[in-house]
Chain A
Amino acid sequence: MKNKSNSNIVLRYLIPALLLTCAVGFIIYGIFDGEVNAVLSKATALCRECVGIG
């Protein structure tokens, strides 16, 4: 089957695998760095900007 994409099997899986590994690494780093708390505190205090009165 001649396809318009994904001809290279290694790249087909290698790039997403690398990205997924980075993604998990970033999330773990963010947890230890405390960034996760910035997310939680913003998401749990009602955001005046979101609702259009900020």
Chain B
Amino acid sequence: METQVKAPKKQKTRMQIRKSVERRRFAIQAVFTILTNSYIVGFIRGTIYQGKLKYICVPGMNCYSCPGALGSCPIGALQAVFNQGNYTNSWLDPKSGSVIAQPLYWFAFYVIGFIMLFGALCGRLVCAFLCPFGLIQDLLYKIPLPKKMKIKSFPHDKPFRYLKYVLLVVFVIVLPLLYESNPFFCKYICPSGMLIGGIPLMTYGSVIGNTAAQTGTGITSWAEAGGLTVLKMCILGAIIILSIITYRPFCKYVCPLGAIYSFFNKISLYRYTVDESKCTHCGACNHACRMGVDITKTPNALECIRCGDCKAACPHGAICSGFGIKKKQDPASDVNKGSAA
């Protein structure tokens, strides 16, 4: 009797595993971005969605002035609430006879509640999977350049990484609290608003018709562009060029939302773990990381966006991640069992 010899199952190489992890992440990013920006009418008519879904804050940097946006940007919403901290409820105190004034909102409970919810669940996992501006930067980084010009992460850039915390405190919290109706980060810095809000709306305005009714609140066309537009276009241009050269410069140096989520990395439900009994300190994970994190030293570093590249690169299956104590076995471990990685 003839015995059938089964052909050995072809093992995936390390590169194939990394590619498939990256493809899966890209698919999730794309689906989430499309779902949360699916107000087609906005794109057709050059308007924005004005329904009740905008009560809800989305997890990532998704401008609420994008024609397709269904939810609210947490950083824009935070500034909007802090801007109202200036409007005061005032009354006459009968005892002292003096007028007592109290800011309307001294703390942005609602918006911070949303940010805490996303942060406590998954920290900067939001950055890798659920942020449209992260996706845009990922796509820009895919644009080919001569190898010498691609720099995963600028060396000795650590001091510049603190810039995002300064911007968070100054432009998102302090200045909007001091000056009403002035969302400083949106107004003077945010390239996301310019890219997915400003450019399409001003362009639609000029193409579809220059009436306030058509665009919602009187935004008309590029004819309204002034010094601020030039400033924000310059920042956007710089971010685009830098994103082609290096991986996610906005996330590394500028984003105040990433800055907030970074504090949750160490305490969120979703965490990374390095199994020291398996780790040989070969450096493969460190080499794979485009955010400049050495996960073997700091598994839940502030800068880690939980992209999973290091996990896919580890030839020993030493890096695990997940919501529970028993971590999901990482894809590298099946290579461990005899692949040609």
Answer yes or no: do A and B interact: yes
- Report yes or no: B228 in contact with A53, Cβ–Cβ below 8 A: yes
In the complex, chain B residues whose CB is within 8 Å of the CB of A45? 216-217
Q: Which of B52, B109, B217 has the most CB of A within 10 A?
A: B109
A46-B216, A51-B193, A52-B225 known; A39+B113 contact, CB < 8 A: no
- Report yes or no: B64 in contact with A50, Cβ–Cβ below 8 A: yes
Query: Which residue of chain A has the shortest Cβ distance to B202 in the bound complex?
Result: A51
Enumerate B258-299 residues with CB–CB distance to A below 8 Å.
264, 266-269, 271-277, 296, 299
- Report yes or no: A26 in contact with B116, Cβ–Cβ below 8 A: yes
CA distance A13 to B268 in the complex (A): 9
Enumerate B228-269 residues with CB–CB distance to A below 8 Å.
228-229, 231-233, 264, 266-269
Binds A, one of B125-133, B148-156, B183-191: B183-191
Binds A, one of B19-27, B75-83, B93-101, B330-338: B75-83
Q: Which of A9, A31, A47, A50 has the most CB of B within 10 A?
A: A50
- Report yes or no: A5 in contact with B54, Cβ–Cβ below 8 A: no
Nearest CB of chain B from residue A35's CB, rounded to whole Å: 4
CA distance A3 to B122 in the complex (A): 19
A1-16 interface mask toward B, CB cutoff 8 Å, 1 = contact, 0 = none? Answer: 1111110010011011
- Report yes or no: A20 in contact with B121, Cβ–Cβ below 8 A: yes
In the complex, chain B residues whose CB is within 8 Å of the CB of A46? 48, 65, 201, 215-217, 219
CA distance A44 to B76 in the complex (A): 12
In the complex, chain B residues whose CB is within 8 Å of the CB of A43? 54, 64, 71-73, 76-77, 80
In the complex, chain A residues whose CB is within 8 Å of the CB of B48? 44, 46
CA distance A41 to B108 in the complex (A): 15
In the complex, chain B residues whose CB is within 8 Å of the CB of A9? 325
Which of B76, B113, B182, B233 contacts A50 (CB under 8 A)?
Answer: B76
In the complex, chain B residues whose CB is within 8 Å of the CB of A49? 182-183, 186-187, 193
In the complex, chain A residues whose CB is within 8 Å of the CB of B272? 5
B105 proximal to A (CB < 8 A): yes
Nearest CB of chain A from residue B232's CB, rounded to whole Å: 4
In the complex, chain A residues whose CB is within 8 Å of the CB of B215? 46
Enumerate B196-213 residues with CB–CB distance to A below 8 Å.
197-198, 201-202
- Report yes or no: A27 in contact with B110, Cβ–Cβ below 8 A: yes
Which of A1, A28, A31, A47 contacts B186 (CB under 8 A)?
Answer: A47
In the complex, chain A residues whose CB is within 8 Å of the CB of B113? 22-30
Query: Which residue of chain A has the shortest Cβ distance to B87 in the bound complex?
Result: A38
Nearest CB of chain B from residue A15's CB, rounded to whole Å: 5
Query: Which residue of chain B has the shortest Cβ distance to A21 in the bound complex?
Result: B120
B88 proximal to A (CB < 8 A): no
Query: Which residue of chain A has the shortest Cβ distance to B67 in the bound complex?
Result: A46
A16-B269, A44-B54 known; A35+B108 contact, CB < 8 A: yes
Binding site for B on A (CB under 8 A): 1-6, 9, 12-13, 15-16, 19-20, 22-31, 33, 35-36, 38-54
- For the complex of A and B, list the 9 residue pairs with the smallest distance between their C-beta atoms, beginning with the closest: A30-B110, A26-B113, A50-B193, A51-B198, A42-B80, A19-B120, A27-B113, A23-B116, A49-B187
Q: List 19 other contacts, CB 8 Å, given A4-B274, A49-B183.
A: A6-B325, A9-B325, A19-B119, A20-B117, A22-B113, A27-B109, A30-B111, A35-B111, A44-B51, A46-B216, A47-B65, A50-B63, A50-B65, A50-B198, A51-B201, A52-B231, A53-B219, A53-B224, A54-B187
